[in-house]
Amino acid sequence: MSTAVCTTESLSSLSVPARAATVPPAVRRGAWQIAPGEAMSLKARAASILRVRQGRVWITPDATLANPSEDLVLAPGESLMVAAGQRIVMEAWDGYGATYSWDNA
């Protein structure tokens, strides 16, 4: 069960680069892909963990009074805790896209 709300029109409208077919099935299984040059906004319904499986992602969390916004770049194997109700904007860092998972914390 997904705990994120994607603010793009729908996940089916996301384009997947042709080279995504070369990503091993074990990496794709249970994960989402973000295409090069694509940005998306995700809002956690519950405390969640964003894990980068392949590629790098550039993340900008919403700023709060307690935590000013800082851009982050996550590489494969790195993760980010996302608090319930927190919104992040995520973009593939380079021209290859990225693969990530979004799980309950």
pTM here is: 0.69
Q: How far apart are CA 56 and CA 99, in angstroms?
A: 8
Q: What tens digit of pLDDT does each residue of 32-60 get? A: 999 999 999 999 999 999 999 999 999 99
- Inter-residue contact 57 to 97 (CB < 8 Å): no
Q: What domains does the chain contain, in order, with CATH numbers? A: 40-104 (2.60.120.10)
Helices and strands, counts by H and E, the chain: 1, 9
- Inter-residue contact 36 to 94 (CB < 8 Å): yes
In the chain the first and final C-alpha atoms are separated, in Å, by 12
Indicate if the pLDDT at residue 90 is higher than 60: yes
In 10 A of CB 97, how many CB atoms? 23
Q: How far apart are CA 2 and CA 4, in angstroms?
A: 6
Q: How far apart are CA 21 and CA 8, in angstroms?
A: 23
| pLDDT in the model for residue 68 | 80
Closest to 82 measured CA to CA, from 98, 92, 97, 67: 67
